[in-house]
Amino acid sequence: MEPRCAVGAWTGRWLGALVIGALVWHAVTKLPDHLAEMMWVCHVASLVLAIGLMAGRRALVAAGLLLHLSWGAPAYILDVIATGSTSVTSVLVHLLPVVTGVLAVAGWGWPRGVVLPAWIFFSLWVPLSYLTTGPALNVNLAHAPWPPLAGVLPGLWASWLFNAAGSLLTFFLVDRLLARGLRGRGSARRPGDAAPLAPDPLPVLGGLAFLFFAVHCAAHLRRGELGDLLWLSSFATLLLAAGCAIRSASLVALASLWLSLSALLWTVDLLVARSPIDSAILTHLGSLGVSIVAARTLGVPPRTWVAATGGLALLVGLSRLVTARARNVNLAFAISPGWEPRFGNHALYLAGLWLLAGGLFFAIERIWLRDARRVLAARS
């Protein structure tokens, strides 16, 4: 029977959902004319890897990771160097699957027999891309050689053969490196040997949180909007990364409660004010997903909701003191656009939000503590 991944099933499902969420966001940016670019083998590898994470299948996770490390990531890096441009979603869909895939296979070790199936899949996917995508997009280099090599390769068939040979070599080399790096952890255990311990997910979760923070806040920093780093979602994401790094249940739980509120308000704002979906999705929905996994791993200390409610008031006050009025960070200066007719003044609006936050924090903590007791009872 195929061994399941060393990460817990619940954590694996969340990591797989994060990868699929990144793919969906990237696909939305391709609408309507460039959706066929989702046929690039790196995106297909991400989907395979995500399915493997959610189903707990090591072979699928390993195949997706091998395709990424051997072909997808190097091709992406070379393309960025050649074109001098990329996008937030492109960075995310190339980094996130690699991080989650490494986490999943770390405890089991690298399985045998991945190279040939992955290479056959890649070799067949190129002609399929030729049949289903347009020449202008040149997905998987199915219609023309890579421009820097166009002068060396005489034609399309030469390009296909070159890519097939090059991919086989890189698949084999990466396979050997991973097998050597994870030696002693994988399927080569003798009968009676103890099963490997599951890897600690917190360093990877902290890394994901910091990645979300960095990608989202880079845009603010380029525009000189330093005060926007104090937005609840951004500050909570950074707090989440720190909490995972030092294994602090209090910090992770506090960040989780704040992210629950910010995700709710952000979603409502999308519906009411029709705000555009940008990299803020990372520090709202992405960070919320990471925080739930981290809080479930570390547990939630009692009365965290009190600290979250009081800390929220302090953060709003700090935002009013140190940020520009025009930015309205954490709604410290004005009512959120679209909500003005529903509230008489800003003070009433803030008071209502603060009461809503306290009630939400209390309810979420009760749900978490009840879930913790149920898990503890099941284990005993």
Domain boundary assignment for the chain: 9-181, 202-379
- Of the pLDDT bands very low, low, confident and very high (cuts 50, 70, 90), residue 120 is very high
CA-nearest of 113, 122, 121, 100 to 179 is: 113
For the segment 8-56, what is each residue's pLDDT rounded down to a tens digit?
555 678 888 889 988 998 898 888 888 899 999 999 999 999 999 888 8
- For residue 273, what pLDDT is reported? 65
Contact 244, 202 (CB under 8 A): yes
Q: What is the mean pLDDT of residues 230-236?
A: 92
CA distance 137 to 156: 15
Give dist(CA 345, CA 233) in Å, integer: 24
Other residues' Cβ atoms within 10 Å of the Cβ of residue 95: 18
What is the pLDDT confidence band of residue 376, given thresholds at 50, 70 and 90? low
CA–CA–CA angle 125, 127, 128 (5° rounding) = 60
In sequence order, the 6+-apart residues with CB closer than 8 A to the CB of 226 are 220
Rounded Cα gap, residues 49 and 44, in angstroms = 9
Q: Alpha helices, DSSP H only, in 223-248?
A: 232-246
Residue 288 sits at the vertex; the CA angle it makes with 286 and 292, to the nearest 5 degrees, is: 120
pLDDT confidence band for 379 (50 / 70 / 90): low
Backbone angles phi, psi at 4, to 5 degrees: -90, 160
Flag whether pLDDT at 256 surpasses 90.
Answer: yes
Span 178-197, mean pLDDT? 52
The residues, any chain, with a CB within 8 Å of residue 92's CB and separated by 6 or more, are 22, 25, 26, 211, 215, 282
The model carries a pTM of: 0.61
d(CA 74, CA 170): 10
* Residue 269 to residues 164, 260, 262, 330, Cα–Cα distance (Å): 48, 14, 10, 13
d(CA 184, CA 163): 33
CB neighbours of residue 237 within 10 Å: 32
